[in-house]
Amino acid sequence: MRLLCLFGTVMLLCCTAPAFADEPQLVALLRVQAFNKVFEGFDFYHVTIEADLAQEDGSHEVTAVASGNFLDSTRRVKALFLIVGDTLIGGQVLEEKGLPPCLPSSGTHASSL
């Protein structure tokens, strides 16, 4: 009986988990090393590779677009990345539309009852 319950729980988790396993390795790398921070708090966002140019030194210049919805707003970011192996070396935002980045407020916080 325990085995049946465990199997049922595993099946439920597999069916409800995001299907990132089918993504290309490059998209998964950009999600982990760049876009997850930009789209933190979003339920889901989509990443598309527009260009992947191999360089003579073995690095890649990758242009990618990520977009996602948060409540009634949409955010879209197009960026150019330099990737060596499985490491994101650097990047530059080419276009950004939608929600501005959340910045921590400076100063003290006051609360009232």
Domain for residue 8, yes or no?
no
pLDDT of residue 43: 82
Domain for residue 52, yes or no?
yes
Predicted model pTM: 0.66
Question: Which of 5-9, 57-61, 74-78, 85-89 shows the lowest mean pLDDT across its residues?
Answer: 5-9
Domain for residue 15, yes or no?
no
The structural domain count of the chain equals: 1
In 3D space, the residue among 42, 87, 47, 86 whose CA is nearest the CA of residue 64 turns out to be: 47
pLDDT of residue 112: 39
Residue 38's domain comprises 22-97
Domain for residue 71, yes or no?
yes
Q: Is 49 within 8 Å of 63 (Cβ atoms)?
A: yes
